[in-house]
Amino acid sequence: MNLLEIARTLGSPVMVRNYLSKFGTTPAKATKEFLRLVRESFNIYPQIKIPTLIVQGRRDHLVRAKSAAYLQRTIPSGSKRVLMVERSGHMLCHGEHSGQMMNEVLQFMRTSGRAGLN
């Protein structure tokens, strides 16, 4: 967790309301399964050989930006790239630069030769 971004987020009444609305509504079983998935993922990263785009929000309050560097070091794919979205948080697809980010994802898919997109 990114404590600096959590503190910044808690300064926003909208974000505090959002957190409180989710507190107690996410089933414990779902949280347990998510944590299991995260643990198991660490074993899979060293096996990834396909082109990989790692997208990370610099202001993410849940996932530290250094996680992208970890993935870049750990994934052995010969074709990988980190896209650090400077002014975005955890919900990259809903940030102010979501259109630009989506265009970069599409461009990566086109140039990686795996998606069949033209």
DSSP states along 97-114 = THHHHHHHHHHHHHHHTS
- Supply the pTM of this predicted model: 0.72
- Identify the residue whose tokens are 């404590």: 3
What's the CA gap between 34 and 107, in Å, rounded?
30
- Domain of residue 103: give its range: 3-112
**What is the reported pLDDT for 91?**
79
In a domain, 118, yes or no: no
Query: What whole-number distance in Å separates Cα of residue 9 and Cα of residue 31?
Result: 21
In a domain, 42, yes or no: yes
The DSSP code for 36 is H
117 belongs to a structural domain: no
Which residue in 90, 109, 92 sits closest to 101, CA to CA?
92
Please state the domain count of the chain: 1
Q: Classify residue 9 by burial, with Cβ atoms within 10 Å: 0-12, 13-18, 19+.
A: buried
52-57 and 80-85: which strand pairing?
Answer: parallel
CATH number at residue 99: 3.40.50.1820
Contacts of 17 (CB under 8 A, 6+ apart): none
pLDDT tens over the chain, length 118 residues: 555 656 666 666 776 677 667 667 778 888 889 889 989 999 999 999 999 999 998 888 788 888 999 999 999 999 999 999 887 887 788 777 788 889 999 999 999 875 555 5
**Strand, helix or coil for residue 45:** helix
